[in-house]
Amino acid sequence: MTETTQETKTDSGKKILATALKVILGIVLIVLGLALVIRWWEALFTVIRGCLGLFLILAGLITLAIAKE
Query: What pLDDT tens digit does each residue of the chain (69 aa) get?
Result: 555 666 666 778 888 998 999 999 999 999 999 999 999 999 999 999 999 999 999 999 999 999 987
pLDDT at 59: 96
Burial code (b: 16+ CB inside 10 Å, e: under 16) for 30-69 equals: eeeeeeeeeeeeeeeeeeeeeeeeeeeeeeeeeeeeeeee
Answer for the pair 42, 48: CB distance below 8 angstroms, yes or no: no
Q: Where are the domains of the chain?
A: 3-68
